[in-house]
Amino acid sequence: MPIPARALAVTLAAGALLALPGLWAGARAEPPSSEAIVEAFEAVLGPIRANRPSHAKGTCAAGHFTATPEGTRLSVAPVFNGQRVATIIRFGVGVGNPAGPDTGRTTRSLSIRFETPSGDTWDMANISAPIFGSPTPEALVAGLLARRPDPATGQPNPQAVAAFVAANPATTLQGRWLAATLLPASWATTPYWGVNAFRFQGTDGQVRHARWSFEPAAGTQRLTEEETRTKPANFLADELRQRVAQAPVEFDMVLQFAAPGDDVTNPTIAWPDDRPRAVVGRLAVTEVAPGPGGACDPISFLQLDMAPGVTYSDDPTLQARTGAYAVSLSRRLQ
């Protein structure tokens, strides 16, 4: 799609957004509809045509996932039954413009569709930050609307943006984390977090709140500031292709379990590091598309339940994602 010039200046790291004070909070019983959410993205980026409004830049890949015995114990979902599960993967960059550079201070992403031998599918989209930029769908929408370009200047109104920040400090937490963290050196050398909490039902019948992350087998490696300044605009895809040509790129899927009192509904708050963890599976990336496009393009990586083994928590942003991703997909595939 032709991206309006103003969109070049707008990076939509999934959620690195600000929120309008009190625009929705308390004033509405109903959360914004899926259409209203997508229209708020369009108010900033222009009509959605062909590209995702968030993480517009990406590269398709493929591989497989195998649960550990601990994963089989902790979730009765088919994905965790220990058989090898095929995956369609998309690595992304948190920009609104598919031609944006790989060196922006935004999140990178790892999106996965699991396809079990028995025909079940499970989708997820993960980011290279442990927290999201909006505590609620209302804040996400209000933040987007506040960043609408002023028709007179083509730029967001700085006073409106400043007012968001002042009144909604939680919406600045992800941006602060990103500002304090060097960029990943490779799509293969950063952890990715699912951010939202889910309920996992184990073989013992217990249901536990957990968040997942994907930890790189190669370890975490980041660019220095100097390296960031000199990297080519599209270095991530080339680097990944070279890496996978040598050997599969692997990640451990790790669950972190909530303790009583941990907030399971607010994705801007990370749980303390001392919460119990379990390695529940290993993802291997074995192929990378040689160029743009591929099997990941028509997928929206909707956050799905895999009942009864993995089901939604009461996090309202999780609930909002499903419908919004579907509406966005339908607009970009028109």
Smaller CB separation from ligand HEM, 81 or 191 = 191
Distance, in Å, from the CA atom of 38 to the CA atom of 93, rounded to the nearest integer, reads 19
Size of residue set near ligand HEM by CB under 6 A = 34
- Binders of ligand HEM in range 78-97 (CB under 6 A): 90, 92
Torsion of Cα atoms, 161 then 164 then 170 then 172, to 10°: 10
Neighbours of 124 (CB within 10 A): 22
- Six token digits for residue 94: 């948190």
Contact 133, 17 (CB under 8 A): yes
Whichever of 81 and 106 has its CB closer to ligand HEM, that residue is: 106
Q: Is 312 annotated as a binding residue?
A: no
Q: Which of 46, 143, 267, 281 binds ligand HEM (CB under 6 A)?
A: 267
The minimum distance between CB 153 and ligand HEM, in angstroms, equals 26
64 is catalytic: no
**Is 53 one of the binding residues for ligand HEM (CB under 6 A)?**
yes
200/281 Cα distance (integer angstroms) = 14
* CB closer to ligand HEM out of 118 and 334: 334
Identify which of residues 251 and 301 has a Cβ nearer to ligand HEM in the complex: 301
User: Whose CA is closest to 135, among 176, 79, 194, 196?
Assistant: 196
CB of 294 to ligand HEM, least distance (A): 12
Give least dist CB 56 to ligand HEM, A. Answer: 8
Nearest approach, Cβ of residue 260 and ligand HEM (Å): 23
What angle, rounded to 10 degrees, do the helices at 158-167 and 137-146 form? Answer: 160
Nearest alpha-carbon partner for 110 in 193, 175, 177, 183: 193
Contact with ligand HEM (CB under 6 A): which of 104, 170, 301, 310? 301
Q: Which of 81, 317 has the CB closer to ligand HEM? A: 317
Residue pair 120/87 in contact (Cβ under 8 Å)? The answer is: no
The catalytically annotated residue of 10, 15, 53, 55 is: 55
Burial of 227 (0-12, 13-18, 19+ CB in 10 A): middle
10 neighbors 46 (Cβ within 8 angstroms): no
Q: How far is CA 52 from CA 59, 68, 219, 312, in A?
A: 13, 33, 29, 23
- 57 near ligand HEM, judged by CB under 6 A: no
Q: Does 104 bind ligand HEM (CB under 6 A)?
A: no
Alpha carbons 268 and 126: distance in angstroms, whole number: 14
Closer by beta carbon to ligand HEM, 39 or else 239: 39
Tell me if 256 contacts ligand HEM by CB under 6 A: no
The only residue of 168, 300, 309, 310 in contact with ligand HEM, by rule CB under 6 A: 300
Comparing C-alpha atoms, which of 122, 95, 124 is closest to residue 108?
95
Site for ligand HEM contains 46 (CB under 6 A):
no
- Smallest distance from ligand HEM to CB 205, Å: 28
**Of the listed pieces 52-60, 199-207, 231-239, 287-295, which binds ligand HEM according to CB under 6 A?**
52-60
Cβ contacts of residue 49 below 8 Å, gap of 6+?
Answer: 1, 2, 331, 332, 334
Q: Does 325 bind ligand HEM (CB under 6 A)?
A: yes
Binding residues for heme: 325
Q: Which residues bind ligand HEM (CB under 6 A)?
A: 14-15, 37-38, 41, 52-55, 58, 90, 92, 109, 111, 125-127, 132, 137, 140, 194-196, 267, 300-301, 317, 320-321, 324-325, 328-329, 332
Tell me the catalytic residues.
55
